[in-house]
Amino acid sequence: MNKRKIYIGIMKGAMYFCTSLTALLVLFLFGYVLIKGIPNITWELLSTKPSYLAGRIGILPDILNTIYIVIATLIVVLPLGVGAAVYLNEYALNKKVVELIEYAAETLSGIPSIIYGLVGMLLFSNNFGTSILAGALTLVIMNLPTVMRTTQESLKTVPQSYREGAFGLGAGKWRVIRTVVLPGCLDGVITGCILSIGRIIGESAALLFTAGFAHAINDFFTGLTSPGATLTVALYVYAKEEGEFAVAFAIAAILMILTLLINLSTTMVGKYFAKRRNI
Amino acid sequence: MKKNKIFEDIVHGIFLILGLITVGCVVLITIYLIISGLPAIKEIGLINFLFGKQWASTAAEPKFGILPFILTSIYGTSGAIVIGVPIGFFTAVYLSKVANKKVRNIMETSVNLLAGIPSVVYGLVGMLILVPAIRKIFKVPDGASLLAAIIVLAIMILPNIIKVSITSLDAVPKEYEDASYALGASSTETFFRVSVPAAKSGIAAAVVLGVGRAIGEAMAVMMVAGNVANMPSLFQSVRFLTTAVSSEMAYSSPGSLQRNALFSIALVLYIFIMLINATLNFFLKRDKEK
């Protein structure tokens, strides 16, 4: 009897201890980075580019590069990912092909980003030069499984009767997909977008050798063809190579705030579409 | 009518191509890694490459043995698993079985946040808190060490382990637990002696997923592990397979044996990841079949 009580006590204690440890860890990480970082975020930091002459560091180019790379990646990855999901859910009849594609997607999502970086360097940077475009194309391969999976999941929730109704009215397959299936998977596409944005913003290893670490201010189209550091790469360079911890923490705080916003919007999108479905 | 048929066939073809792009990517990545990874292995010799204990790529008489990197990656990953899995496991059991809805919601959000933090931020915090702390507590000359990397990796794999374990614990049929209660077991006993064994495939998958994440992490490790090609030891500066690639890539010249050897390291890492993926699929499939 006593042995049993001890066992229960230990297990209960371990559960409470580990859960509080996890909670404290999250609190500490966010608290520490935000407290150390927010005081260092100044207007000058956000609105200028680094200049050795003036002895200042500005992260405007890195912010712009991050936005460019997000836009460029999404433009390419969305049609590819959504198309693949539509094929799997609407067209594919051969079970072997479906399994092959799903296995490939799982494999892709398990490959570490440093390997994407290397392959991206061989495939894209050697052809287009070290540039935002090469970085974005590398990230396309990385995010393909994410967009595909979220779209596929929401395609499954489009009721079969909608498709049958449209077919019954004499619509061809493509018309059904365009007018019934695609509008129905909007929530999956949006969720995929948000998750991809989160991953792109947080990515660094895959971008070091494909997009480089320049800090020049460019417009979108010159930006694509020239090298540039995103916020995470800039953080790495400032912290590891230059020892500029104040700037590194400012960037880290910005990244943490973006992480919060991205998480918040995923939940909100989920809730919004769940509500709309129930009506 | 015939025109319509051709049009539909074309659309079908386009979607088929889009579907096969993922397969194409995997094939492309594999081929590229093999083509660029093999020449250096051929030149150095497979045994010398895999089991050589010395890495001195820029020395006058260069040595390319990656045993230190392989062992560091294995030790580092095992260390992270030993610390991270128990914490993640108990947290998952608590959240899935004990916690009320409000606590569970808050904790799930926190775990998602933890998963969303970019690895460079982990690296930065590790560099400024963990590394000096290790130096002070253990009185070693430099805190940038295998231990620092293990702790950072343990934290980084935590969200994966918690999330996957919760999913499989939630899926345990309620009848199992009811039967256990009816036999007089307390709730805690039921969770650990009935629910956990029933969910063991899913939990195993969580562990394997953690292994994959830990072995593939580069940036955070690069910032805290010190990056010297030593044989692994807890308080020494070490280099992982991932960081071996990224730390020399920037200054190795294209076509040189040094760069080719880096690609060979990536190939070795890729093979590790493929083995881990296969294991993961095995567990996930077994979980689904039940």
Q: How confident is the model at residue A51 (pLDDT cuts 50, 70, 90)?
A: confident
Report the SS3 class of residue A232: helix
Nearest-by-CA chain B residue for A237? B120
Q: Residue A279 pLDDT > 60, yes or no?
A: no
Of the candidates B15, B93, B270, which has its C-beta nearest A115's C-beta?
A: B270
The size of chain A, in residues, is 279
**Shortest Cα distance from B139 to chain A (angstroms)?**
23
pLDDT mean over A64-72: 92
Distance between CA atoms of residues A258 and B75, nearest Å: 34
Alpha-carbon span A28 to B158, nearest angstrom:
15
DSSP designation for A40? G
Residues B6-56 have pLDDT tens digits of: 888 898 899 999 989 999 999 999 999 999 999 888 888 888 888 888 888
Backbone φ and ψ for A189, nearest 5 degrees, come out as -65, -45
Among residues A71, A120, A78, the alpha carbon closest in space to that of A219 is found at A71
For the segment A219-263, what is each residue's pLDDT rounded down to a tens digit?
888 878 888 889 999 999 888 888 888 889 999 999 999 999 998
User: Does residue A8 surpass a pLDDT of 80?
Assistant: yes
- Return the DSSP state at B283: H
CATH number listed for the domain at residues B55-289 = 1.10.3720.10
Neighbours of A95 (CB within 10 A): 8
How many CB pairs (< 8 A) connect A and B?
238
Q: Please give the structure tokens belonging to residue A266.
A: 């995923």
Question: Each residue of A193-223: pLDDT tens digit?
Answer: 999 999 999 998 889 888 888 888 888 888 7
Q: Which of residues 13-32 of B touch A (CB under 8 A)?
A: 14-16, 18-23, 25-26, 28-29, 32
Question: What amino acid is encoded at A77 in this protein?
Answer: V
Q: Which of B95, B112, B245 sits opposite A118 (nearest CB)?
A: B245
Confidence of residue A1 (pLDDT cuts 50, 70, 90): low
How many Å lie between the alpha carbon of B63 and the closest alpha carbon of chain A? 22
B10 reaches A (C-beta below 8 A): no
**Positions in chain B whose pLDDT score sits under 50:** none
How far is residue A139's CA from residue B263's CA, in Å, rounded to a whole number?
20
What are residue B57's DSSP bridge partners? none
User: b/e map of B74-92 (b: 16 or more CB within 10 Å)?
Assistant: bbbbebbbebbbebbbbbb
Among the listed residues B248, B218, B224, B217, the one whose alpha carbon sits nearest the alpha carbon of residue B56: B248
Domain boundaries, chain B: 55-289
CA geometry: angle at A159 spanning A157 and A165, to 5°? Answer: 155
Q: Which residues of B are less than 8 Å from A252 in CB distance?
A: 120-121, 124-125
Residues B76, B128, A239, CA angle at the centre, nearest 5°? Answer: 95
Look at B114 and A79 and tell me if their CB atoms are within 8 Å: no
Q: Do B121 and A209 touch (CB under 8 A)?
A: no
Both tokens assigned to A205: 């290893």
